[in-house]
Structure 1
Amino acid sequence: MNVIVLSPIRMFGDGLATSLGNSEGIRVVAVARDLAGLRNALAGASVQVVLIDVTQGIDLYDMRSVAVEHPALALVALGLNEQRQDVIRCGRAGFSGYVPRDAPIDALRGAIADVAAGRLACPAEISSALLRALFRSDHQSDSLDTELALTQREMEVLHLLGHGYSNKEIARELCLSIATVKHHVHSILDKLKLPNRVLAMRRVRDAPWLASVASRRAGGVREG
């Protein structure tokens, strides 16, 4: 199977590619340093698995966008802190499997084989937490489908709401009118089925990929 390694640390990515190159049935077709490099590599080759170094603060929102664009692609988190919430967050971001920080290289080979076969090996406590998370996502009104309905601008406004900004402060930060900000806030609350902005702030804390949009505004100001 064809594999891409994504890590901002060149030595780690190249070393991992070399180690996996000796594994039967695994072919590392590219080592990407960032999301742009990953997208370019995916466009140029048939790939089944992407190994993603999550120890360097990877953007979960960006990873979820890759998972949505490539539904047949298996994303594997490398170096994950094996805690329930971390595993659940990666699952919500579209990851198919993970390898804990203290796992040997053989465990990584096994994880690649597992995700290719549609399996996820994890401790019973993690499995139980995943099942409970699935139950909540099916029975609570704040589902992921609703979150996906937010526009990029609405996610930027929600990000600032999550940091306690007022409408006036959001307007100044995003170079919008206060009336436009009020429109976006109303739309966000309506889409997320939330009664007030305090609960919207809690949503940002519960969904870390929404809090990543600040970095996506670096390209300049866009129209509201």
Structure 2
Amino acid sequence: MTTTQATNQVLVFHRNGLFRDCLVNYIKTARDDEAIAIDHAQIAQIGEELFNSADVVLLDLNLPGVLPTEIIGRVQTSSSPAKIIVLVPDDHGSLAECLACGVHGCVLERASLDELNLAIDRVLEGSGFCSGDFAATMFAEFSRIAQSPAWQVPTAISACRLTGREQEVIGLLAKAKSNKQIAKELSVSLYTVKNHVHNILEKLSVETRMEAVELARQENWVSRF
């Protein structure tokens, strides 16, 4: 009796329809995986069942009118979070925030299809992946940040490198605001707020919102928000 290896489901988010369709066709033919092309205009209508069934998400960082962190948040709050690979253009200003959100790989858009295939394999195995020449650039940038005075401040929260938006969120948590109230006040989606809260808890190594707020108060950070 022979068994057929289960295929993976890959969601492809990209601003360029031709590029997106080429990736979908490659994944279907070269990998024998299921691939679904998603236009940025369709994102708001996507049901949670699609995110729940996905194994890998290929995410364009420059989707028109859509923050990549919003999609990352929806993936991470699904019942079975997929592995996320960001497709990085030469202008990668939002990549650092995406890395902080916990993506699993980054591939330059000008990389070969073989490299993309390797990236998908690596993240499915539980490893990370980063395009080689881009890794060198990121290493230089992280080295510069690590040597800056701000990085050396020995407080629990500053060492965790909370983003400006995460600082705003924890400040509102300290005021007992709900996720919906925070989303309304910051003019962001509920998914984005959930993603920020998730990242705050991970960075502070706590399990609850109350613990995060208490730690912020102990470090005298709440008054700054």
TM-score, normalised to structure 2, is 0.55
Deviation at 1:69, TM superposition (A): 1.2
Residue pairs, 1:148-159, within 5 angstroms: 149=173, 151-158=179-186
* 2:121 maps to 1:113: yes
C-alpha contact (below 8 Å) 1:4/1:32 kept by paired residues:
yes
C-alpha contact (below 8 Å) 1:64/1:93 kept by paired residues:
yes
Match of 2:209 in 1: none
Secondary structure (helix, strand or coil) at the match of 1:195 reads helix
C-alpha contact (below 8 Å) 2:61/2:94 kept by paired residues:
no
Q: Cα deviation per residue 1:68-93 (whole Å; 9 max; x = unaligned)? A: 3135311111134486x643211223
Match of 1:208 in 2: none
Match of 1:173 in 2: none
Match of 2:14 in 1: 7
* 2:88 maps to 1:79: yes
Percent identical among aligned pairs is 17
Match of 1:26 in 2: 33
Q: Cα deviation per residue 1:41-94 (whole Å; 9 max; x = unaligned)? A: 616x732001112233541331232133135311111134486x6432112233
CA separation of 1:93 and 1:67: change in aligned 2, threshold 3 A:
farther
Unaligned segments of structure 1, at least 5 residues? 161-188, 201-224
Secondary structure (helix, strand or coil) at the match of 1:55 reads coil
Read off the aligned partner of 2:10 and give its amino acid letter. Answer: V
C-alpha contact (below 8 Å) 1:80/1:86 kept by paired residues:
no
C-alpha contact (below 8 Å) 1:87/1:126 kept by paired residues:
no
For residue 96 of structure 1, the aligned residue among 89, 104, 107 is 104
Match of 2:5 in 1: none
C-alpha contact (below 8 Å) 1:32/1:38 kept by paired residues:
no
For residue 126 of structure 1, the aligned residue among 112, 119, 138 is 138
Q: Cα deviation per residue 1:100-140 (whole Å; 9 max; x = unaligned)? A: 132111111111111111222332563583996x999x932
CA distance in 1, matches of 2:34, 2:152: 37
Secondary structure (helix, strand or coil) at the match of 2:129 reads coil
Unaligned segments of structure 2, at least 5 residues? 1-7, 189-215
